[in-house]
Amino acid sequence: MRRSEFMSDRINVEPRSVMLLRRLTYLAPIVWMVPFGILFYLFQLAPMLWVLLNSFVYEGEIGLENYIEVLSSPFMIQAFGNSLWLSIWSSLFGLTIATLLVSSLRRVDCKIREGVIAFTNMSSNFSGVPLAFAFIIILGTNGAITLLLKQHGLLGDFDLYGKWGLLAMYTYFQIPLGVLLLYPAFDALNDDWQEASVLLGASSCQYWLKVALPILFPALLGTLVILIANAIGAYASVYALTSGNYNLITIRIASLVSGDLFLEPNLAAAISVLLMLLLTFVAVINQWLVAKSYTVAKPRK
């Protein structure tokens, strides 16, 4: 009887220990997430809440005067327009070049492909002040390529410090990011589809227009949205290149926060909120496109 009681107690104890172990296993990831949650609050949520609350403060009172001032100022509207113009066109050019590059990488040797991807990873981190300095040396007023092209009459009134120079620099740092985002998307294409289209009498252009691009369209559009968001938030490169003399929305925010004569952090907070709303809209579109691309890529049963 004693042995049977001991065995029954042992049977009752083992499930409890197993249940406790399972609970600890479930709680472990939550415990590891606590430091991340603290950092996320301190460096993401807390600054966003501060910016949001202070954007409604105008001369010590609560109101919408900051937003009215931003939306009624031609200077601020021009800053938003310049930022959107640079972001959209540099993203379109960068996406086109990245698409052609990734499409070519699928046809080259594996070692060359790995080398190009490694170089792309490295160049994607080459931004900010070093990138602006490199462009000044190469395409500045007395840059090496600038003098060479002007010598042969191939370069007119190109100004690196104007909108076309900024467009060239923005396009440059958009290309590596576009390549890294599009490279996995091209795995959805099957080489047999192109061979089948050729056997059916389709040309290369017809294959790309009617087969490849419809499949890649969600990924292409999603990449375009991310590139636009990446360009809108760029600050260090354009500031180092133009010393803040070109009217962009990130330059205006910095001047209102760090300026000695025009220190208006609440107005800068209102501009930041509008910029966050714009980037949130971009992020929502991107998530919808990513979900759509997964639906298209899912095999039919």
- Alpha-carbon gap, residue 78 to 156, rounded angstroms: 26
Residues 222/290, Cβ–Cβ less than 8 Å: yes
Buried-state track 7-34, b at ≥16 Cβ within 10 A, e below 16: eeeeeeeeeeeeeeeeeeeeeeeeeeee
Contact 172, 130 (CB under 8 A): no
The pLDDT of 50-60, averaged and rounded, is: 87
pLDDT, averaged across the chain: 81
Q: Mapping DSSP to helix (H, G, I), strand (E, B) and coil, where does residue 61 land?
A: strand
pLDDT for 177-209, tens place per residue? 888 888 888 877 777 787 788 787 877 788 888
Give the residue-averaged pLDDT of 158-180.
88
Whole-angstrom Cα distance, residue 80 to residue 247?
9
Q: What pLDDT is stored for residue 139 in this prediction?
A: 85
- More reliable by pLDDT, 13 or 275: 275
Instruction: Dump pLDDT digits (tens) for 95-110.
Output: 999 998 888 887 777 7
pLDDT at residue 105, as a whole number = 83
Share of the chain above pLDDT 90, in %: 13
3-class secondary structure, 229: helix
Three-class SS string for the chain? CHHHHHHHHHHHHHHHHHHHHHHHHHHHHHHHHHHHHHHHHHHHHHHHHHHHHHCCEECCEECCHHHHHHHCCHHHHHHHHHHHHHHHHHHHHHHHHHHHHHHHHCCCCHHHHHHHHHHHHHHHCCCCHHHHHHHHHHHCCCCHHHHHHHHCCCCCCCCCCCHHHHHHHHHHHHHHHHHHHHCCHHHHCCHHHHHHHHHCCCCHHHHHHHHHHHHHHHHHHHHHHHHHHHHHCCCHHHHHHHCCCCCCHHHHHHHHHHCCCCCCHHHHHHHHHHHHHHHHHHHHHHHHHHHHHHHHHCCCC
pTM assigned to the model: 0.78
